[in-house]
Amino acid sequence: MSTIPDLEAPPMSATHRSRRSRRRAALLAGAAALTLVATACSGGTRVGGDAPSAATGDDAGKGEVTGAVRLAYWGSGARVDLTNGVSDLFVKEHPGVDVTPEFTDFAAYFQRLNVQATSGGMACITQLQGRQLNDYAGQGLLVDLQPLVDSGAINVDDIPAEVLDTGRGPDGKLYEIPYGAAYDAIMVNTTLADQAGVGTPPANWTWDDFFAYAPKAKAALPDGVAGVNLLGGHPNTFIEWLRGNGKEVFDGNKAAFTVDDVVEYWGLWEQLRTSGATISAQDRSAEAAQVEQSWIAQGRTVLDNKPGNQLGQAQGALDGAQPGSQLTTVQLPRGADGASSTVLFTSGWSIPTSCDNIPTAAAYIDFWVNDPEANALFASNNGAVTNTKMLEAQLADTSLAPATRQNLELFQQIVKDEPPTVLYPAGYQANFETAFTRSYEAVALNGADPRQTAQQFVDNLNAALAQA
């Protein structure tokens, strides 16, 4: 059995050293483009309002920490207990505060949030993700938190810039303080990889290496076991492939990628699929959403693209399906120049412009991000903790489960490699992900023409985003 691969990055070239500045410049350019779009489309009634005076100026976010605040978040079971436990710790430090939790499952959460947003009833401390952030920031519903950071009300000194940038909105302003980061990684069945003679992929592999790996693995595997899951319709993998190859995903409120990009990506997967190196299109469309029932967790494929924090769940299922088989995770393939492809999906806290207790909301967010006891309790339950000091403290825990340690260590390395940022326009979630999957399924399952299907997907996406 292969050991977990060395996660050290390759030597940093001059090209790599300049990547941070290029990434920041691209982020600012994208923000400027989105600002122009927002300005051009702002003729209607504004849903949000101006930032409260307590959120502006040199003392933004500072003041008496007291009174009641509502805390809105998604989750169930242990996450509810842990989140409320952090709130209890905050109240213990600030006895004059009352934190009222509002929670539900992920899908219902955003349905309720949309109703609250239209009526001005969002909770003072509202949980958001980068992929939905612009649906709210673009409507003027959220406070720019940068003045609160500048005043010292919220300390983000230990959150890396690449991570903090995922909380920025269409105008480049900071609308979310990310506290937990999820990411995709290539999950590898190391037992099957060794059996096939291909071994665990190295940390510095490229997309060319990735697409060559699966056929090599399949050639030495038994019937019914694939080299890789079929990811032609997986929206995350497409975005990550674009970013690793130096291409932007969105330009303002339209696609920055081209029809040719979609056709090229689908073509790579169709070549693998028709050669028999992947899970079949029929089996892929029938695959269960739960990671425990996924094909890699059932021993049906060597590789898949999965959230890094699902390793433990997948290994537990594989222990039952194929006792003795082992899984690990490695970083996504890099671009030809060594650029990272890993896009972070962060969860964080925002403050709506309707909040009437800015100092207490700011103090709560600061406490969540920086308090050692709070972070030890929550323990990266919703993505790897973004505060580097808190991350190091969790990794120092010798009782940490192996899968959790792998997740946190891989995240630590990903951040060192300067992951690219994606600015998601309003309407992304509703108009991109499912449509991309269905478009590829039309090609792989029904024989639709790839170029015509890609053209229709891009045209429909751009039309929908323009109206979002």
Tens of pLDDT, residues 54-105:
899 999 999 999 999 999 999 999 999 999 999 999 999 999 999 999 999 9
What average pLDDT does the segment 31-51 reach? 42
Same domain, 92 and 217: no
Same domain, 140 and 166: yes
What average pLDDT does the segment 108-120 reach? 95
Same domain, 403 and 440: no
The structural domain count of the chain equals 2
First-last CA distance in the chain: 50
Residue 317 confidence (pLDDT): 97
Same domain, 115 and 204: no
- Name the residue among 223, 224, 241 with its Cα closest to residue 232: 241
Q: What is the pTM of this model?
A: 0.87
Same domain, 372 and 338: no
Q: What is the pLDDT of residues 220-261, one digit of tens each?
A: 999 999 999 999 999 999 999 999 999 999 998 999 999 999
Same domain, 42 and 190: no
Q: Whole-number mean pLDDT of the chain?
A: 90
Same domain, 216 and 336: yes
What average pLDDT does the segment 332-350 reach? 97
Task: Pick 269 or 4 by higher pLDDT.
Answer: 269
Task: State which residues form the domain around 396.
Answer: 33-182+345-412
CATH number for 127 = 3.40.190.10
Residue 48 confidence (pLDDT): 59
In a domain, 313, yes or no: yes
Same domain, 377 and 327: no
String of b and e for 408-429 (b: at least 16 CB within 10 Å)?
bbbbebbbebbbbbbbbbbbbb
d(CA 236, CA 254): 17
Q: What is the pLDDT of residues 432-461, one digit of tens each?
A: 999 999 999 999 999 999 999 999 999 999
Instruction: Give, to the nearest 10 degrees, the angle between helix 433-446 and helix 259-274.
Output: 50
In a domain, 421, yes or no: no
Residue-wise DSSP of 348-385? EEE-BTT-S-HHHHHHHHHHHHH-HHHHHHHTTBTBEE
- Name the residue among 191, 143, 148, 43 with its Cα closest to residue 354: 143
Same domain, 238 and 351: no
